[in-house]
A and B are shown apart, each in its own frame.
Chain A
């Protein structure tokens, strides 16, 4: 009944449209566009330009000056800030760590998330609860997660202390150890973000046509073969998306690191953004910090183009 009236309505609408068309062609089509353009666009344009685009341009400008932020920048130093930046040990460490975080996110976190998504895309009691639990760390603020893990890693009070104490050993101060600290940070990153990637994969898996998998099953494909030759190719767009978010997240990792180590000990857990914060913001070296910002910007540009090219080639 409803569909019949719906069909009639659609027909009537079509008729109205066809009737209306010649009339509208005579006049200027539709209502005036000017008020909308003048009223609806400027707020977004203004906000975006003033707080996003201009600061990015200014970063490039400031990076050529030695400037403490007071008055106007006058002491032009050319590319010296970049020279100093690339000779800075802590900056090298930050670049290496950011690369490491990216690799771990892609090589460990994404497959882990995919594996769990495969398990949780099936139907069995408790599946929804597990999905929620795994997603929970993602909704917590990075700062809170970092602080919680700082307690977990604490050599005196934390869970690590208890676990090692159980075996009669004294716990290592993981976050105070130059060699271990970065791995401790990486573990927290995986803990915090795998649930997000898992949810992406579950959504992707649910969109896959069941008949394809059934057909493969009937043809005698093993579980692994079905995954490798049916699921994985169909999941490629989700996989690319997940890797994209892993990369973006790695580049701007900051919030988790601050409560855990603040980039220490001895800069061993510095990321690009913690470096920018402690050398640019804390010391009010606007020029030097902006230079670090420009490098970050260029890395994003290079990654975006690489990514786009890889994507185009695959499609």
Chain B
């Protein structure tokens, strides 16, 4: 499960030995895949192209290439403060969500993996309860709590709940990984008088890069795309991360679809670039996170 994209083993469906059958089958496979791929891609490509059109052009010709390439649609957004502030807000929230998740979950997972103490089993189950319930069940009391803490409309008011709701999965994944650290290392280190904290820092963490990457990617993607938590906890537009930003942009420009499409394209562009640049890690992270959980 570590490497979805590059280890292609023909695990299933051994091609029949007759060449004719193989050819027909291949044709059928490609036909299916091309149809599905176009259903996936056409809305995305139309969105990107739509951003280059005028509204009239969009109306008469939503599929094809633009009559006149309207670079201005994109240019205006790229030079607007709004776009960059939105991305910056998202980045700020996501980076600190990842850092805090890794630190807090890592420490708890280490303790739960290696130290026997009274009630450790119960404690793990307590954290795992968080896996079962969606954020929405507690969103109103969460709003009250954040308001009472004075964190409403503050990025930290979004970061802390995001970290808290991600803890269940992160602790589970990291604990399972930490438990596999060889016993010999422990014995050797402890005989030398190493403390648990030192061991965590200089042995466990360096050995745990794969799981740190996985948990980090999951936390980052979830935070980057999160909508409901910031929607309820942020009120002023200058604090909006991008999912809220495109919604309010769309509210403002109503049916000026060409602008909205350009805006959507530019906001999902970072995701798409990062996805294709680091696809192996992202797919492995997102699915492995799920599978091992």
Where the two chains meet, the residues of A that have a C-beta atom closer than 8 Å to any C-beta of B are 10, 13, 16-17, 20, 24, 30-33, 35-37, 39-41, 43-45, 47-48, 50-56, 58-59, 62, 69, 116, 118-124, 126-128, 130-144, 147-149, 151-152, 154, 156-159, 161-162, 191, 195-196, 199-200, 202-203, 205-208, 210, 213-214, 217, 223, 226-227, 231, 238, 241, 245, 248, 251-252, 254-255, 258-259, 272-273, 276-277, 280-281, 286, 289-290, 293-294, 296-297, 300-301, 304
Q: How far is the CB of B77 from chain A (nearest CB, A)?
A: 14
**Contact A55 B142, CB 8 Å, known A130-B37, A191-B39, A203-B287:** yes
The one of A47, A149, A213, A281 in contact with B14, judged by C-beta atoms closer than 8 angstroms, is: A213
Pick from B78-86, B126-134, B208-216 the stretch touching chain A: B126-134
The complex places the Cα of A243 from the Cα of B269 at a distance, in Å, of: 31
New A-B contacts (13) at CB < 8 Å, excluding given A32-B195, A152-B46: A31-B193, A39-B197, A40-B107, A47-B167, A51-B161, A128-B6, A130-B37, A141-B243, A200-B287, A202-B4, A205-B11, A241-B290, A286-B144
The one of B12, B44, B140, B276 in contact with A281, judged by C-beta atoms closer than 8 angstroms, is: B140
Q: Give chain B residues whose Cβ lies under 8 Å from the Cβ of A54.
A: 141, 145
Q: How far is the CB of B1 from chain A (nearest CB, A)?
A: 5
Is the pair A142, B5 in contact by a Cβ cutoff of 8 Å?
no
Within residues 175 to 198 of chain B, which ones have a CB less than 8 A from any CB in chain A? 184, 187-188, 190-191, 193-197
Residue B267 at the chain A interface, CB threshold 8 Å: yes
Is the pair A293, B246 in contact by a Cβ cutoff of 8 Å?
no
Q: 27 pairs across A/B with beta carbons < 8 Å?
A: A40-B107, A40-B200, A43-B108, A44-B108, A47-B163, A50-B164, A51-B161, A54-B145, A55-B142, A69-B144, A118-B13, A141-B225, A141-B268, A141-B271, A143-B243, A143-B247, A151-B43, A151-B260, A191-B39, A191-B43, A206-B7, A214-B14, A223-B13, A255-B227, A255-B243, A286-B141, A296-B134
Is the pair B107, A44 in contact by a Cβ cutoff of 8 Å?
yes
Q: Give chain B residues whose Cβ lies under 8 Å from the Cβ of A149.
A: 43
Q: How far is the CB of B230 from chain A (nearest CB, A)?
A: 11
Which of B58, B104, B141, B261 has the largest number of chain A CB atoms within 10 A?
A: B141
Q: How far is the CB of A147 from chain B (nearest CB, A)?
A: 6
The complex places the Cα of A255 from the Cα of B3 at a distance, in Å, of: 30
Q: Give chain B residues whose Cβ lies under 8 Å from the Cβ of A139.
A: 221, 271, 275, 282, 286
Is the pair B105, A196 in contact by a Cβ cutoff of 8 Å?
no
The one of A116, A124, A245, A273 in contact with B228, judged by C-beta atoms closer than 8 angstroms, is: A273
Is the pair A206, B9 in contact by a Cβ cutoff of 8 Å?
yes
Q: Give chain A residues whose Cβ lies under 8 Å from the Cβ of B188.
A: 13, 16
The complex places the Cα of A33 from the Cα of B111 at a distance, in Å, of: 9
Is the pair A128, B5 in contact by a Cβ cutoff of 8 Å?
yes
Q: How far is the CB of A149 from chain B (nearest CB, A)?
A: 6
The complex places the Cα of A213 from the Cα of B257 at a distance, in Å, of: 52
Q: Give chain B residues whose Cβ lies under 8 Å from the Cβ of A272.
A: 136
Is the pair B260, A37 in contact by a Cβ cutoff of 8 Å?
no
Q: Give chain B residues whose Cβ lies under 8 Å from the Cβ of A231.
A: 12
**Contact A300 B132, CB 8 Å, known A121-B11, A203-B4:** yes
Is the pair B184, A13 in contact by a Cβ cutoff of 8 Å?
yes
Residue B33 at the chain A interface, CB threshold 8 Å: yes
Main secondary structure on chain B at its contact with chain A? helix
Residue B24 at the chain A interface, CB threshold 8 Å: no
Q: Give chain A residues whose Cβ lies under 8 Å from the Cβ of B276.
A: 132
**Contact A20 B191, CB 8 Å, known A51-B161, A141-B243, A199-B4:** yes
Is the pair B4, A280 in contact by a Cβ cutoff of 8 Å?
no
Q: How far is the CB of B200 from chain A (nearest CB, A)?
A: 8
The complex places the Cα of A199 from the Cα of B280 at a distance, in Å, of: 12
**Contact A159 B63, CB 8 Å, known A36-B111, A148-B43, A276-B136:** yes
Q: How far is the CB of B41 from chain A (nearest CB, A)?
A: 6
Residue B173 at the chain A interface, CB threshold 8 Å: no
The complex places the Cα of A300 from the Cα of B272 at a distance, in Å, of: 33
**Contact A273 B134, CB 8 Å, known A44-B167, A138-B286:** yes
Is the pair A286, B140 in contact by a Cβ cutoff of 8 Å?
yes
The complex places the Cα of A254 from the Cα of B127 at a distance, in Å, of: 24
Is the pair B105, A56 in contact by a Cβ cutoff of 8 Å?
no
Closest residue of B by beta carbon distance from A272: B136
Q: How far is the CB of B281 from chain A (nearest CB, A)?
A: 12
Is the pair B283, A199 in contact by a Cβ cutoff of 8 Å?
yes
Q: Give chain B residues whose Cβ lies under 8 Å from the Cβ of A24.
A: 191
Residue B139 at the chain A interface, CB threshold 8 Å: yes
Is the pair B10, A123 in contact by a Cβ cutoff of 8 Å?
yes
The complex places the Cα of A245 from the Cα of B191 at a distance, in Å, of: 45
Is the pair B104, A280 in contact by a Cβ cutoff of 8 Å?
no
Q: How far is the CB of B232 from chain A (nearest CB, A)?
A: 6
